[in-house]
Amino acid sequence: MPIPLLALAISAFAIGTTEFVIMGLLPEVARDLAVSIPSAGLLVSGYALGVAVGAPLLAVVTSKMPRKLALQLLMGVFIVGNVLCAVASDYSVLMIARVVTSFAHGSFFGIGAVVAASLVPQEKRASAIALMFTGLTLANVLGVPFGTFIGQEFGWRTAFWVVAALGVASLAGIAALVPNKHDTGPAGLAHEVRVLKDPQVWMALAMTIVGFGGVFVVFTYIAPILEQVSGFSPRGVTLILVLFGVGLTIGNTVGGRLADRALMPSLMGILLALAVVMAIFTRTSHSQVAAAMTIFVWGIAAFATVPPLQMRVVEKATAAPNLASTLNIGAFNLGNAGGAWLGGLAIGHGMGLDALPWVAAVVSLAALLLTWLAARMDAPVRKGAVGEAI
């Protein structure tokens, strides 16, 4: 894999760290800014909504920019946002700073995925996207625990100064390593929007929302499941989440390699595996050892969906992929929010925590159905292409 992918992976690591580190620092933030824990928790929601809303807006702003320049601009926004977080004088300023930071998230991953795919031969594009997203998975395994430790020991603001420094290193890496020769130039906003007329692009976005939404039906409530159903202590839950993060990292690589071999068949197989693992978790969640093993495998299956889902959008919007690829990052976040809402709805209607994996399994099967339908829609196109070639 080309060295420029390292710069993209480091950037992804920085972005993933700033997104999730706030979760481990909520008590410190709430105490320092004199707000309640639920109010501090809205900083997480504000970031997620900022990703969903900001991604298409910044995609429009950067639509006429060369991709390398757009990535540098977005990383500049990221640095400014984190500095504002570090110096925030009150809760409102911190919320605004979090939203500013989130605006860079969706567009960076969307354009970054297109750039990553352009750096390698066609048969390695999904693996290249997966390598960039490895930075995001490693943020969960290394960045967030380290950032939480720094914030708890030296003050929560220090964690954001460290992430801002990571952003500066990422910006330097992009400037030095990402070549201009792979930048095919902007297609222009009108051309980017025109791609959205293709129903397969919208089908791909729907696959992302539903496919990743099933993961968050359970992941949102994983701590109470592990504590109340499996019987883990809070410290034990932390260790299990690290194990889950290791599974994410492995799954990301596996998903990229499988997608390079056969994109749609691999995605259907992964979604089926995800549904099966969730169904099994309804039983294994009652045993600590079995629950830990299942969560590790679940992590592999969960993030193995990411490279093929992102590659599918890039593939279907190949003429002008920036906006579609960026919208797909927003689709991941909509899936996160939708899965959390559906899990909460199930609990509110009397379902036990140990039944949530059943809901997740059904959602994964719905994503499998969408993927199968999308593959069927591809069939006439492929036949026509073969006929023309003959």
Predicted confidence (pLDDT) per residue in 170-196, tens digit? 999 999 888 875 455 455 566 667 777
From residue 41, give the alpha-carbon distance in Å to each of 18, 46, 91, 134, 235.
Answer: 14, 9, 11, 26, 20
Residues 162 and 295 in one domain: no
In the listed set 170, 185, 200, which residue is the last one of a domain according to the structure?
Answer: 185
Residues 307 and 216 in one domain: yes
Asked if residue 382 has pLDDT above 60, the reply is no
Residues 181 and 193 in one domain: no
The answer, as to whether pTM is greater than 0.85, is no
120 lies in which domain range? 1-185
Pure H helices in 91-198: 91-118, 125-138, 144-154, 156-177, 189-195
Structure tokens at 139: 């943020």
Q: What is the pLDDT of residues 5-18, one digit of tens each?
A: 888 999 999 998 88
Q: What is the CATH number of the domain that holds 365?
A: 1.20.1250.20
Stronger pLDDT, 109 or 274, i.e. the higher one: 274
- Range with the largest mean pLDDT of 114-128, 255-269, 357-371: 357-371
Residues 180 and 209 in one domain: no
Number of separate domains in the chain: 2
Q: How far apart are CA 132 and CA 69, in angstroms?
A: 18
* Contact partners, residue 314, CB within 8 Å, separation at least 6: 113, 114, 117, 125, 129, 321, 324, 325
In the listed set 132, 161, 185, which residue is the last one of a domain according to the structure?
Answer: 185
Residues 181 and 221 in one domain: no
Residue 301: predicted pLDDT:
93
Q: Are the C-beta atoms of 370 and 203 separated by less than 8 Å?
A: yes
Q: How far apart are CA 303 and CA 176, in angstroms?
A: 30
Residues 341 and 258 in one domain: yes
Residue 366: predicted pLDDT:
95
Structure tokens at 28: 């410190």
In the listed set 185, 212, 244, which residue is the last one of a domain according to the structure?
Answer: 185
Residues 26 and 105 in one domain: yes
Residue 329: predicted pLDDT:
79
Residues 318 and 254 in one domain: yes
Q: At what angle do helices 306-316 and 263-284 cross, to 10 degrees?
A: 150
Residues 194 and 170 in one domain: no
Residues 164 and 285 in one domain: no
From residue 252, give the alpha-carbon distance in Å to each of 15, 68, 185, 306.
Answer: 17, 24, 29, 7
Residues 127 and 169 in one domain: yes
Q: What is the pLDDT of residues 323-338, one digit of tens each?
A: 777 788 778 878 877 8
Residues 191 and 123 in one domain: no
